[in-house]
Amino acid sequence: MKKVIVFLIVTVILVDVAYAQRRRRSTRWKRTRYEIVYGVGGTNFLGELGGADQIGTDYVKDLEIMMTRPVGQLGIRYKILENLALKGAFSVGMLKGDDKTTTEIHRNNRNLHFRSMIYELDAQLEYSIIREKEGHRYRLRKVRGLKGYLTNTYFFVGLGGFYFNPKAQASDGKWYALQPLGTEGQGIVETRQPYSRFQMAIPYGIGFKYGLNRKWTIGLEYGMRKTFTDYMDDVSSTYYDNDLFEDPIAAELADPSLSRQEGNYRWTGPNQQRGDSKDKDAYMFLFISATYKLKTGRNGMPKF
């Protein structure tokens, strides 16, 4: 009888210890719910200018790799659940497009170009399909159980706002902001109003992280940005009559086409197609990131 009682006591103790250990493991992620995110990488643009050597190409098939420009990011991530996180980030990058990069005859003849700084502030909801798990502090040989730090794979979607200001270089060598010039008759024709340089975007994509230790991880994140404007490159609809521009710079940057320079206006005269208003512009970020984990205080706030 005593053996049975001892057995039951030992069993209860072992079950309680196992449950406590499992509970500690299941809540361990709460100790570092906050992460500071640093990112550097490249950004590219999908719009009217440049692109593939053919007409009517959309999405990544129209991507011009040589127009990739740098981008940086600073953000903070908060783990809502073990596999669900919210990240807020501020990104600064450069977008660029140029018709000289394509051999498609109509695009190349159009001869338009632009560059624009882009400032983006967004919030992303991240869902991990492969969670980052912590094991032993050291990678010990012949020690059972999870070892080291595994890769974290996640998908994300969010909502953001951004500011852009497309510019082009005139024959005098200076770069001019295109929105105030109304290159497609905005502000001159009643039916064409100036576009806003503040816009909304929906970021979505995929990311990977790998833990170097208990504090630092490195990662790779690729994300597209769906926008609701077609004027990120200042090109959307049809040509305005160049003879009606009062500003010679506006006239020059509205239609610097090669054929016009030769006195042929067949492709770029008034109301001829300049862009494609049916498709909105988009841009993308590719980041190499470093993440630093912050301890969570008893008040639920991060400890810096």
pLDDT tens digits for range 66-111: 889 999 999 999 999 999 999 999 999 999 999 998 888 888 899 9
pLDDT, tens digit, 9 for 90 and up, residues 120-172: 999 999 999 876 665 544 454 554 544 445 688 999 999 999 999 999 999 99
Cα dihedral across residues 59, 62, 65, 70: positive or negative: negative
> For residue 42, is it within any domain?
yes
> For residue 10, is it within any domain?
no
Question: Which residue is listed with tokens 């009559």?
Answer: 241
Check residues 302 and 267 and name the one with the higher pLDDT.
267
pLDDT, tens digit, 9 for 90 and up, residues 39-55: 999 999 998 887 665 56
- Contact assessment for residue 30 and residue 281, using Cβ atoms and an 8 Å cutoff: no
Instruction: At 154, list the tokens.
Output: 């996640």
φ, ψ at 72 (rounded to 5°): -130, 155
Average pLDDT, the chain: 84
CA separation (Å) from 150 to 200, 214, 254?
35, 11, 53
Q: Judge whether residue 190 has pLDDT over 60.
A: yes
Query: Going by C-beta distance under 8 Å and a sequence separation of 6 or more, which residues neighbour residue 146?
Result: 133, 134, 135, 136
Rounded to whole angstroms, how far apart are CA atoms 303 and 8? 44
- Contact assessment for residue 133 and residue 149, using Cβ atoms and an 8 Å cutoff: yes
> For residue 1, is it within any domain?
no
> For residue 13, is it within any domain?
no
Residue 273: domain span: 33-303
| 126 strand-pairing partners | 85, 156
State the CATH number of the domain containing residue 216.
2.40.160.20
Task: Give pLDDT, residue 300.
Answer: 67
> For residue 8, is it within any domain?
no
> For residue 258, is it within any domain?
yes
- Contact assessment for residue 58 and residue 73, using Cβ atoms and an 8 Å cutoff: no
* Torsion, CA 22, CA 214, CA 123, CA 304, rounded to 10: 110
Query: Looking at the whole model, is its pTM more than 0.95?
Result: no
Instruction: At 274, list the tokens.
Output: 């300049």
Segment 57-63 shows an average pLDDT of: 62
Question: Which residue is listed with tokens 């659940």?
Answer: 81
Check residues 82 and 19 and name the one with the higher pLDDT.
82
* Torsion, CA 250, CA 254, CA 257, CA 262, rounded to 10: -40
Q: Judge whether residue 65 has pLDDT over 90.
A: no
Task: Give pLDDT, residue 52.
Answer: 62
Rounded to whole angstroms, how far apart are CA atoms 210 and 251? 53
> For residue 163, is it within any domain?
yes
CA 26, chain centre distance (Å): 32
Q: Which of 137-146, 243-252, 278-287 has the lowest mean pLDDT?
A: 137-146
**How many domains does the chain contain in total?**
1
> For residue 22, is it within any domain?
no
- Contact assessment for residue 46 and residue 57, using Cβ atoms and an 8 Å cutoff: no
What amino acid is encoded at 96 in this protein?
A: K
Task: Give pLDDT, residue 298.
Answer: 73
Task: Give pLDDT, residue 61.
Answer: 63
